[in-house]
Structure 1
Amino acid sequence: MLTIHLRRSLFEPRQVRRATLTALLFLAFSNGSYAQSKLQLVNLPGSQITLTNGKKILRFDVSTPDDLHQAKVTVSVFPYDSDGKLMPAPLASYERTISNMQGGKAIEVGVATPRSGLFRVDAILKAPDGETLDKTASTLAVVTKRDEVGPSDFGVVTHFAQGGTPPSVLLPLVKQAGFSWIRDELYWEAIEKRPGVFNFPARYDAYLAACKRLGISPLVVLDYGNATAYPTLFSKSNFPQSPEARKRFSDYVDAVVARYGGTVKHWEVWNEPDFSKISYAAYSSLLKDTFSAVKRVSPDASVISCGGGGAGGGPGGDCLVAMIKEGSLNDQDGFSVHPYMPPNTPERGYQATGAPIDFVSVPTVWPYLKELTAQHVKSDGRPLQVWVTEMGWPVNPKDPGQGEATQASNLVRTYLLSRRYGAVRVLFWYDFVDDGTDINNIEHNFGLLRHDLTPKPAFVAASVLSSTVGTRNWAKALVDANNVKAYQYGTDDPVIAGWTTDGKEGMASIHLPAGKYIQRDWQGVDTPLTITAQSFDWRVGPIPRYLIPDRQ
């Protein structure tokens, strides 16, 4: 495998040394006497995301038979184009010969990255006779450094409660990707293993302390039953159904909010309750008890209901409507939905059945939920906030057109559309890191980073979106056709985002003041552009591009 040690990293050396070394994609070729030859990657997790272009040091561990002294390693660096496609020709190739080297030693190769963006690195180990012994592939990204967290409506789902990559490694990457929020959990069963005894895992303290240090806001889910401490209460259901079970859950909430209430100001009640098995009345009772428990300890905290639940991820507000009928309108500060749409696009979505909206898409769901909350205001006069606490597209080789470039385009377009309709408090992308390595398992492939923390196009696209559009509000539509969009964000310092919705390139005919502009693609690559007439035909593609007035 290919090992990449980058001398410029997001992390301090001490932090990097703590990281667990992981392996990358591995493709083995075993032939004859060279069956034991391997090209191995042992790079530090996250080190393939850097903040400056130029020379990068790639370190390869090579294992060959002792007598194979003239084997060669060839490293090629490939760029991506403005539509997220891998270019067929490498920027450069680098070759090293393994001379008089015992097996298991390492070599270093310096490669150059001339600009910002994403690059694929291919490495091949060949015998002196030209036979391929092993090969591996990876990616590296060059992105603009961020000193501040991203916009207040950009969030991403993490899994620190489940262990895995330390927050000291992962959270700086979350910040670099342009997110200001994470959504994670604090499992009841992990905290109270014996009745009435609350012990908090070190990993819980660590990720929330790191959030506070980096200025990242956590939305924490309070969830799941506790058969470990209370086997009788949860013998038939993992949900607190009885008054006694709800009382024990409230004690857990008290303990959690007392410990973390200074850092966590937003709490979500449960994750994706299955209302085909859990009655709305039972959930309403738990919501009321949890709301009271949170407010008793932390009066300024917010409680988010529904946990994204409801039919089809709740895009029709099923759970909220039920909570209103159950008398729980005032026992929440907002509610959440999980309106997944793969493999459909965020603009068109899919046709709904038996729902108050005909299609589930961003342009239909967001306005509907905004109107629904306007019709049901709390007794204190405050409207409920709408939260999208999970939404994402996987990289899915089983579905034509659901590749890495499509994931990147859907991410950027979803956040741009969400800002355009102005209904959602925070939108959380699911999720930040792939949950596994099986390319045929959809659940393993929602991440912006692969399981080994190497970047996908979506990571780079998210970082560029956040730094380019920033906090600018949606101003107006320059083009709003079925297949082509061109939206302006901001007025005094505008940024225009343009894209197509049908997977093809197209023209957006827009009217702009004549002058000099900068066109920026998803990788952050800037191209000077001069507009000489007010009517301008702008060529755009599936991954949004940006037009920025050149004020220099």
Structure 2
Amino acid sequence: MIKINYTRGRKMVLSTAFFLMAFLLAPVTLFAQQSFITIQQKVAGNIFYQSDQKEFVIHVAADSVEWACYDFWEQKILSGKKAVAGDTALLNIEPGKLGWFKLLIKSKQNSAVTGSKETFFAIVSNFDLSTVSQSAFIGQTHAWQSTDILIPIAKKMGVKYVRDAIRWDVVEKQKQVYTFGTKEDAFIAQLAANNLKPYLVCALYNPLYDNGKAPVSAEGRMAFAKYVKQLLTHYPGIENVEIWNEPDIGTFSQGLTTEDQKTTFYYNLLKASYDEVHPTFPNVKIVGMVVSDLATESFLGKILQKGALSSMNEYAFHSYIPVSEAIVTDINKHKNVIKAYNNNNLIPINLSETGFTTFTFTEKEQANNLPRRIVTALANGVQKIGIYNLQNKSTLNDSEGAFGLIRHPDDTLGAYTPKPGFATYAALTRQLSGAIFVAEEQISPGLINAYKFTKGSDEVRVMYSLSGTGVRLFTDAASLEVVDIMGNSTIYNAVNDTVSITLDANPVYIKGVLKAPFAQEKILPATAPFSLKYGFYFGGYTEITQDSIAAAKWISAIAEIVGHDGKRTRVVAKPAVQSKATWKAAITKAGLYNISVYIPGNAALNAYSTTKAKYTIFAGGAEVAAVVVDQFKDQGKWVDLGSYQLPRGTNNYVELTDTLPAHDRPLRADALKFTLTP
């Protein structure tokens, strides 16, 4: 009775007789016709001030919509139902707090769900930028984007500066004839109207000179210098100009191949620009270097030894190092090279590009990392910080396109809608605009990060604990104000001159005057199982490598060899005896921890890896065990390394080495997990 026909591609189809029988005998399920939902924005990007009406216009062919609102912590905070009239429903949603929110809409017809759609919105506190005279905070836009929309959004974010370019080839299309178009004029005017200031990049190539490549000729660099001067003449409100962008990489040094060519080009361009501009505009800050995070100390030194520090007022660099606090390494690299060529003195330093792409990081990780990166940079002497980018460059799932704090206008989740990082940056700008860094306070170092700022007569502290712990704050005041990562304020009344709060990985802002000893850790009992994760993207991970041999260096593995979360992993192709990776835990609660490691891999590729990777476990600095793992056999899975009693502190770690005698197979590293079960 049953007849099966085989088609090409080994697909099977039921005969007509069997299909009819199956249809007649099967229970009948009725499906509601699916409805298409459109969420119309009343405010660009659904980014609201606290005082705004939070309205959303829903267009759908249905008789009602149900909605639910979730906060950054994934808690449902509001829900409701609204009748649809004329295919339209107007929602007015008031969460009653600040921050980032997800809005989920479901349409219904005769009680059956006919469609669903989600979008996002943010609520930020009212903030008068006209009162902000000192700010460290920069947003990044691009000339081809819609500045009509982005500049008011940047204002809501609370930055004082917008970094963008008015390009040389746009201004000078005929030699020595300078034209500023309505788009450029409108951009500068929009910034002023929104109490924002331009932080301008002067770049890039011009086809009139040097065949449209890096301007190395005397004519080309002088023409560039005159373009900068004309820019400042036409827009007298500009206070900061960067000379070129990332001259160390091929994209911005076309026509040049060697390090000597690139460093000579940049020094000559910087000097020509400074000599032409500074006498006429002595108050404009000429910002030099503007190098990428690939710039070596050799590259930097070759520019500075020529005398470049005499041709700049400020020094800028870019860094995308994945761990927020590791920015200290890059800052110190640049400080050291400046001091080496400036009689041990520094000049003002700007981190004009940094950020976290949501291609590599989750949106919550981006949101958490931003304030950590910014505060760490401020605490280590950086005067201005630019977050790259304000808006996603594209809707593609790629690294460069996903740095934005808001979405692309063509995003199906809503044009210009915020990621959580928009709200965390907005909260930070409100708390730290005009603040002056005072000190990093030593409260259980390695377990608690604590940074003290002053803002006028007020004290503001930024605190967080990546492992989670408690802290006691000592004060003579009746209460202290604590502002969370989303900008929400809670008043804590002091009891016996003490306020106790719990810290986690999300920074908080503590406002109020403390008295000695200011703060102490309050050890909290472990009441539920929890895990601590360490790795290249999360922190607590370091590498030792043999730099003199290329194959013995730790590098990022090919994209197909993935880690536990799909991110890129680390590899040393031919590990030398000294090649090592270390995961160091910050343990705030002593106890029995299970340790497991993820082995990078790809089942389809069967990634070539060492068969004798040795994981040595240290508790309180003492070796307690060593486990050898076959990374080739166990690739693509978590491997249990055993359970161990670990004390509190930062001296518990695991070291990875290769024990194959020939050291001829790749050694791989990803994440390591410490799990405590009370």
TM normalised by structure 2 equals: 0.63
Using the alignment, how far apart are the partners of 1:151 and 1:413 within structure 2?
24
1:220, distance to aligned residue in structure 2 (A): 0.9
Of 75, 79, 98 in structure 2, the residue corresponding to residue 92 of structure 1 is 79
> What's the counterpart of residue 96 of structure 2?
114
Q: Distance in 2 between matches of 1:213 and 1:137?
A: 30
* Structure-to-structure mapping, 1:282-431, within 5 angstroms: 282-309=265-292, 312-314=293-295, 319-342=299-322, 345-347=323-325, 349=326, 361-362=327-328, 364-377=329-342, 383-396=346-359, 399=360, 402-421=361-380, 423-431=381-389
Which residue pairs with 2:179 in the alignment?
A: 199
How far off is 1:305 after superposition?
1.4
Matching residue within 433, 442, 466 for 2:399 = 442
Cα distance in 2 between the residues matched to 1:110 and 1:334: 48
Partners in 1 of 2:103 and 2:183 — Cα distance? 33
2:237 to 247, 259, 263: 263
Instruction: Pick the aligned partner of 2:423 from 460, 468, 474.
Output: 460
Which region of structure 1 is more displaced relative to structure 2, 118-127 or 139-148? 139-148
Q: Does the C-alpha gap of structure 1 residues 515 and 72 become closer, same or farther in structure 2, counting only changes over 3 Å? A: same
Task: Kindly provide the CA deviation profile for residues 218-237 of structure 1, in whole angstroms up to 9, marking residues without a partner as x.
Answer: 2211111112x45xx226xx
CA apart distance, 1:510: 4.9
Task: State the SS of the aligned residue for 1:495.
Answer: strand
Counterpart residue type for residue 373 of structure 1: I
1:242 alignment partner in structure 2: 217
The partner residue of 1:132 within 90, 114, 117 is 114
> How far apart are the structure 2 equivalents of 1:464 and 1:53?
16
Change (3 A) 1:318 1:46: farther
How far apart are residue 185 of structure 1 and its match? 0.5
- Tell me the C-alpha RMSD between the 2 structures: 3.0
Which residue identity does 1:217 align to in structure 2?
K
Task: Kindly indicate whether the alpha-carbon contact (under 8 Å) linking 1:54 and 1:112 is maintained by their aligned counterparts in 2.
Answer: no
Residues 317, 263 of structure 1: alpha-carbon distance in 2 compared, 3 angstrom cutoff: farther
Q: Where does residue 71 of structure 2 map in the other structure?
A: 79
Deviation of the 1:391 alpha carbon: 0.7
The residue type equivalent to 1:250 in the other structure is: A
Distance 2:100 2:349 in 1: 34
* Structure 1 residue 247: Cα displacement: 3.0
Alignment map for 1:138-149 (pairs within 5 Å): 138-148=120-130
Distance in 2, matches of 1:328 and 1:142, equals 42
Aligned match of 1:483? 447
User: Pick from 256, 263, 281: which aligns with 1:280?
Assistant: 263
Pairwise CA distance, 1:493: 1.9
Is the CA contact (8 Å cut-off) linking 1:146 and 1:176 kept in structure 2? no
Distance 2:248 2:392 in 1: 24
Alpha carbons of 1:460 and 1:131: their partners in 2 closer, same or farther (altered >3 Å)? Answer: closer
Q: CA deviation at 1:449?
A: 1.9
Contact 2:472 2:499 (C-alpha < 8 Å) held by counterparts? yes
Aligned partners of 2:173 and 2:53: how far apart in 1? 51
Provide the residue aligned with 2:193 in structure 1.
213
Deviations 1:360-383 (A, max 9, x none): x22x333454454345449xx995
Between the aligned partners of 2:139 and 2:375, the Cα distance in structure 1 is 19
Alignment of 1:158-177 (within 5 A): 158-166=140-148, 169-177=149-157
* CA displacement 1:530-549 (0-9 Å, x = unmatched): 33246665311111112223
For residues 55 and 157 of structure 1, the distance between their equivalents in structure 2, rounded to whole angstroms, comes to 26
Change (3 A) 1:377 1:318: same
Amino acid at match of 2:450: A
- 1:51 corresponds, among 43, 49, 52, to 49
How far, CA to CA, are the matches of 2:311 and 2:419 in structure 1? 40
Shift of 1:126: 3.1
> Is the Cα–Cα contact under 8 Å of residues 126 and 134 in structure 1 kept in the other structure?
no
Give the conservation status (yes or no) of the 8 Å contact 1:150–1:178.
no
1:181-217 deviations in Å (ceiling 9; x for gaps): 1211011112222333322221211111222333323
Q: Deviations over 1:378-399 (max 9, x none)?
A: 9xx9953211110111223xx4
Q: Which amino acid counterpart does residue 95 of structure 1 have in structure 2?
A: K
Give the letter aligned to residue 500 of structure 1. Answer: S
SS of residue in 2 equivalent to 1:247: helix
Measure the CA separation in 1 of the matches of 2:201 and 2:336: 26
Aligned to 2:583: none
Quick check: 489-498 or 180-189, which moved more? 489-498
Could you give the per-residue CA deviations for residues 447-490 of structure 1, whole angstroms, max 9, x where no partner exists? Answer: 22222222222222222222223323233315252232122222
Give 3-state SS (helix, strand or coil) of 2:379's partner. Answer: helix
Contact between 1:415 and 1:427, CA under 8 Å: does it hold in 2? yes
1:107-157 deviation digits (Å, cap 9, x = unpaired): 312323222222221112233361433423222324233343657342324
Distance 1:542 1:90 in 2: 22
CA 1:180–1:97: 2 relative to 1, 3 Å: closer
Give me the TM-score of the superposition, normalised by structure 1. 0.77
Which structure 1 segments of 5+ residues have no match? 1-30, 65-69, 350-360
Identify the structure with the greater strand proportion.
2
Structure possessing the higher relative contact order (Cα contacts under 8 Å, 6 or more residues apart): 1
Q: Kindly indicate whether the alpha-carbon contact (under 8 Å) linking 1:271 and 1:308 is maintained by their aligned counterparts in 2.
A: yes
CA deviations over 1:149-180 (Å, ceiling 9, x no partner): 657342324334224231xx332332332211
Q: Could you tell me whether the CA contact under 8 Å between 1:78 and 1:91 is conserved in 2?
A: yes
Q: How many angstroms apart in 2 are the aligned matches of 1:182 and 1:480?
A: 37
- In structure 1, C-alpha distance between the alignment counterparts of 2:64 and 2:237, rounded to whole Å: 53
Shift of 1:512: 4.3
The residue type paired with residue 470 of structure 1 is S
Question: Does 2:466 match 1:474?
Answer: no
- For residues 501-543 of structure 1, the C-alpha deviation after alignment (integer angstroms, 9 at most, x for no partner) is 3xx4323355444742222212222223233246665311111
Percent identical pairs in the alignment equals 21
